[in-house]
Amino acid sequence: MRHVVPQRVADGRDTSVAGLAARAAAADTADPLAHLRDQFDLDEELVYLDGNSLGALPTSVPSRLREVVEQEWGRGLIRSWRDAGWWDAPERVGDRIAPLVGAAPGQIVVGDSTSINVFRLTVAGLRAAVGRDPRRTELLVDGTTFPTDGYLAESAARLTGATLVPCHPSELVDRLDDRTGLVLLNHVDYRTGELWDLPALTAAARGAGALTLWDLSHSAGALPVGLDRAEVDLAVGCGYKYLNGGPGAPAFCYASSDLQDRLDQPLAGWCSHADPFGMEPEYRAAKGATRLRTGTPEILSLLSLDAALDVWADVDLAEVRRKSLALTDFFVSCLDALAPPGSFRLLTPREDGRRGSQVALECDDARAVMATLERQGVIGDHRPPNVCRFGFAPLYTRFVDALTAADALSTCLRARVGIGRA
Ligand SMILES: *Cc1c(COP(=O)(O)O)cnc(C)c1O
């Protein structure tokens, strides 16, 4: 028999495991997105809460990749650059991502890693800002950012002579002034799962005369982004997290159509040339988002991402957001009900408007806790020193998964505080 758990949630609902299980089952039955899980190749028994780090495998991918390798590469050989549409795939796949991030066509190209694209667009953004107003030499960077963004921002600042100003998103509005050239921000904090107000911060930066570069690694495919509507200048996003493109799938770059033709990007290779096959000795930048390409596209992983995007046909992003919030909210309610008081500290904001699609918490020995959960078939991840992260990819995560994970985690935390091992 399971230990009797104190019922601490004051909303009158049954917060026993059985009560929570009934709620999970009802939510899964009512979930309008539930059928999408069938489009992923997931073990029935596994609770996979790491789609914010590596998205699950869509069932459309293996057969498409086999065709790309055996037919397009094997038989078509070099003709496939033309006949199979390989050459234009960076723009074509970019146009398929566009509706997921609220962008009109022609503003996104896919290729290279998120890291490379952060560098590319940071340098291009700084050059555009200084080109417009030579006083605008400061680069404001979210000081809590995923380290790669910080490292690359620093390198971009060294290269361009810009001054790096670390700035928490919550203090951005006060830090903007007439020296600010570019602001590099994360839409969702990779560690805490906090969602920043992209429209408001973009408007503040724009109002102060600065350009914006948003990293959408933890929002593209998890919630509506609305790049055009917010008048974002530049953005990068990851192909292998919520877009499920596969390990190391290429990332994407967004440049608003008003800015594109003023961009001078640092990795100006032949694929970003106005006439790549003219083999001209002088560089002339292509028009449009194509100018953000560099070299030969990584066709296999790019077309894996292309196939993975099939799952989004007919998916309503407002529904995705509703489910994501309901899942993360339910997971937190389960922890509130089941885990010993004081055994964890929630890092993710409880308010819906401030939460992405993951829940992060701090507890003692987080690394060992997550290893224990993994042995029980519950996969999340650990970030040093003591953060446990649980990502809720709305297309394939079930409410029952949230309960199973919260129950396993609570059992683990209870054992650690030395109670409840009845
Ligand atoms: C996941 C992630 C990256 C990943 O960069 P790679 O170049 O793919 O290794 C970069 N930035 C942020 C904010 C991320 O969350």
199-222 per-position pLDDT tens digit: 999 999 999 999 999 999 999 999
108 neighbors 94 (Cβ within 8 angstroms): yes
Residue 9 has pLDDT above 60, yes or no: no
The per-residue pLDDT for 1 is 37
Q: Catalytic: 241?
A: yes
Which numbered atom of ligand 1 lies nearest the CA of 240? 8
- From 146, 187, 196, 244, mutation site for ligand 1 pocket: most ligand atoms within 8 A of C-beta: 146
Distance in Å, CA 98 to ligand 1 centroid: 19
Is 240 noted as a catalytic residue in this protein? Answer: yes
For the chain, state the CA radius of gyration.
23
Of all residues in the chain, what percent carry a pLDDT higher than 70? 96
Considering the candidates 96, 120, 127, 241, report the single residue annotated as catalytic.
241
- Which domains does the chain show, CATH number per domain? 9-59+316-417 (3.90.1150.10), 87-312 (3.40.640.10)
Q: What's the pLDDT at 145?
A: 83
Confidence bin at 4 (pLDDT 50/70/90): very low
Tokens 């091992």 sit at which residue?
421
Mean pLDDT calculated for residue range 22-36: 98
DSSP 192: T
238 lines ligand 1 (CB under 6 A): yes
Q: How far is CA 231 from CA 103, 121, 261, in A?
A: 10, 16, 16
Does residue 12 register a pLDDT over 80? no
- Please tell me the residue having the least CA distance from ligand 1 atom 14: 217
Whether 389 sits among the annotated catalytic residues: the reply is: yes
Q: Is 148 annotated as a binding residue?
A: yes
Q: What is the reported pLDDT for 419?
A: 54
Report the largest interatomic distance among the alpha carbons of the chain, rounded to a whole angstrom: 77
* Residue predicted with more confidence, 82 or 5: 82
Q: Of 127, 389, 398, 414, which residue is the catalytic one?
A: 389
Q: Round to whole Å and give the CA distance between 157 and 266.
A: 12
Cite the DSSP H helix spans in 31-102. 60-67, 80-83, 89-97
Residue 191 has pLDDT above 70, yes or no: yes
Mean pLDDT of 236-262: 98
Give tens-digit pLDDT for 269-325. Answer: 999 999 999 999 999 999 999 999 999 999 999 999 999 999 999 999 999 999 999
pLDDT for 62 equals 98
Reported residue count of the chain is 422
For 333-390, what is each residue's pLDDT tens digit? 999 999 999 999 999 999 999 999 999 999 999 999 999 999 999 999 999 999 999 9
Which band of pLDDT confidence, cut at 50, 70 and 90, is reported for residue 77? very high
pLDDT reading at 230 higher than 90: yes
Provide the whole-model pTM.
0.96
Query: How far apart (Å, rounded) are the C-alpha atoms in residues 219 and 216?
Result: 5
Q: Is 185 in the pocket of ligand 1 (CB under 6 A)?
A: no
CB 148 less than 6 A from any atom of ligand 1: yes
Whole-number Å distance, alpha carbon 217 to ligand 1 midpoint, is 6
Confidence of residue 11 (pLDDT cuts 50, 70, 90): low
Q: How far apart are alpha carbons 137 and 182 in whole angstroms? A: 8
* Dihedral sign (CA 91, 93, 97, 99): positive
Which of 210, 286, 297, 254 has the alpha carbon at shortest distance from 120? Answer: 254
Provide the 8-state DSSP code for 45. Answer: T
* Phi, psi for residue 214 in degrees, rounded to 5: -105, 135
